[in-house]
Amino acid sequence: MKKILAVTACPTGVAHTYMAAESLIKAAKDKDIPLKVETRGAVGVENELSDQEIAEAHAIIVAADTDVLESRFAGKPVVRVPVAQAIKNPAGLLDEALSKEAAAPSGDYAKRVEQSKAERSAARSGPYKHLMTGVSHMLPLVVAGGLLIAISFMFGIEAFKVEGTFAAALMNIGGSSAFALMVPVLAGFISFSIAEKPGLAPGLIGGMLASTIGAGFLGGILAGFLAGYTTQLLKKYIKLPRNLEGLKPILLIPLIASAVTGLLMIYVIGEPVKAIMDGLTNWLTALGTTNAILLGLLLGAMMAFDMGGPVNKAAYTFSVGLLASNVFGPMAAVMAAGMTPPLGLWLATLIAKNKFTKEERDAGKAASVLGISFITEGAIPFAAGDPFRVIPSIVVGSAITGALSMAFGATLRAPHGGIFVLPIPNAVSHLALYALAIVIGTVVTAVLLSLLKKPLEQNKASL
């Protein structure tokens, strides 16, 4: 019997990674197909595929929006799709994997390796995927740093200014260390995603320069792409005698790519991007009420529009990046708006039971847990089943939540955690109003969905 392997990974490693794995496992069980799924999530690599398992597999499904070390699968048939595709169509992916041509005989191995490398390069050329790889590696630093800074404020807003105190130590760990690494790690892993290991050092160096120059996360993003594509070009065009090839990845490429990236950041890119970041920061910190509401409205709508997809991640990345510039309002709006869709759907299943099947009402309970944990993806099953009613409802609810959060002047220092970060003193400002914004958005979502959906006859019979 043909054995299939799979790898799932999403940028944040929180929801899509595990939802995709669960969908594939369930579909494989229904089809009686041997399947093993490796998840590369926020807690690390779980159920890792061994070299022997890869060698024995008929094909591999790669459902990922970040780097998953695809070089391991050289010579094997691979089905490459975005992680969301594994949630929506797991059975189709398994059928495609089964229909793939078996691995080539050993005599054609070199040819298959070259083909696999070319396919991998094409599949990983998307800037979105490279950016999300950088963001996924940056997030733990931002979460840990933001929470440590918030905890330091428990001892007083200015307690950290007294040297030698516990508050000062926490601020040093969170602000001076974790946050200082944020932009370099973002740039380093964008470059790593593009050019693999040789791109890491130039990306880290470019990111550090962006940070010290004051170009912020925008400069870090540019540095990462610059370092990655420069490294890729050098890998392609530098040719050395076979006995000197080992010098390329450890000496020549890091040296030249770092120099090119660094000089361009210092003399060409850094200052203009710094001016843009300074202007953006000044504009955001001086926002009037009307503009703040409009910004919150836009960010909130983006969070609900595709529930963890590219539009959602664009709003999230923008807000996380601003934390390094001490701009905390958009982060609050984004997290509140991201919690609202699953919570609103849960509430709708309670107040309009006759419009949801028993399975949907049960799913609503799970959605509520995901909602309070700031996992917007909890709304996906509902949106997939009834997109024309669910998506408009959650977009309106999240937009209102985001607008209210900005109007109330709420700020958030931690980029994740949902309600579990709210009790931390000073992590969220205007806490009561912030909670009210989430409640209002949840109610709006539930009411709209209750009005738009039609009663189900089978539900009436079961109630």
CA distances from 401 to 183, 202, 323 (A): 29, 40, 20
Q: Would residue 54 count as lying in a domain? A: yes
Q: Would residue 188 count as lying in a domain? A: yes
Confidence (pLDDT) at 458: 47
Confidence (pLDDT) at 245: 67
Please give the share of the chain, as a percent, with pLDDT higher than 70.
Answer: 91
Same-domain status, 315 and 448:
yes
Same-domain status, 401 and 258:
no
Query: Residue 455 pLDDT > 50, yes or no?
Result: yes
Same-domain status, 91 and 181:
no
Confidence (pLDDT) at 139: 83
Query: Residue 93 pLDDT > 60, yes or no?
Result: yes
Confidence (pLDDT) at 112: 38
- Domain holding 141, by residue range, is 127-274
Strands lying side by side in the sheet with 59-64: 44-46, 35-41, 4-9, 59-64, 78-81
For residue 5, give the DSSP letter. E
Confidence (pLDDT) at 102: 52
pLDDT (tens digit per residue) in 363-378: 888 888 888 988 887 8
Same-domain status, 70 and 115:
yes
Q: Would residue 279 count as lying in a domain? A: no
Spatial separation of the C-alpha atoms in residues 216 and 320, rounded to whole Å: 11
Same-domain status, 153 and 270:
yes
Q: Would residue 284 count as lying in a domain? A: no
Q: Is the dihedral of CA 370, 415, 398, 86 positive or negative?
A: negative
Same-domain status, 29 and 87:
yes
Q: Would residue 280 count as lying in a domain? A: no
Query: Residue 310 pLDDT > 80, yes or no?
Result: no
Same-domain status, 425 and 294:
yes
Q: Would residue 81 count as lying in a domain? A: yes
Q: Is 119 exposed, middle or buried (0-12, 13-18, 19+ CB in 10 A)?
A: middle
Q: Which of 266, 274, 446 is nearest to 344 (CA)?
A: 446
Q: How far is C-alpha 401 from the chain's CA centre?
A: 21
Domain boundary among 74, 107, 123: 123
Please tell me which of 8-12, 93-97, 101-105, 424-428 the model is most confident about, judged by mean pLDDT: 93-97
Q: Would residue 77 count as lying in a domain? A: yes
Confidence (pLDDT) at 189: 94
Confidence (pLDDT) at 42: 67
Sequence-separated (6 or more) residues with CB below 8 Å from residue 399: 297, 298, 300, 301, 304, 337
Bridge partner list, 40: 45
CATH code assigned at 114: 3.40.50.2300
Q: Which residue has the higher pLDDT, 297 or 45?
A: 297
Residue 2 banded pLDDT, cuts 50, 70, 90: confident
Confidence (pLDDT) at 38: 94
Spatial separation of the C-alpha atoms in residues 154 and 156, rounded to whole Å: 5
Query: Residue 244 pLDDT > 60, yes or no?
Result: yes
Query: Residue 305 pLDDT > 80, yes or no?
Result: yes
Mean pLDDT for all residues in the chain: 85
Domain boundary among 251, 274, 297: 274
Same-domain status, 101 and 220:
no
201, 236 contact by CB (below 8 A): no
Same-domain status, 198 and 240:
yes
The total number of structural domains that make up the chain: 3
Domain boundary among 96, 123, 150: 123
Same-domain status, 164 and 33:
no
Active site residues: 10
Confidence (pLDDT) at 116: 40
Spatial separation of the C-alpha atoms in residues 38 and 222, rounded to whole Å: 31
Q: Would residue 76 count as lying in a domain? A: yes
Same-domain status, 331 and 442:
yes
Bridge partner list, 5: 36, 60
Residue 457 banded pLDDT, cuts 50, 70, 90: low
317, 258 contact by CB (below 8 A): no
pLDDT (tens digit per residue) in 12-44: 777 788 889 999 999 999 999 999 999 988 667
**Residue 281 host element (H or E):** helix 270-285
Same-domain status, 119 and 131:
no
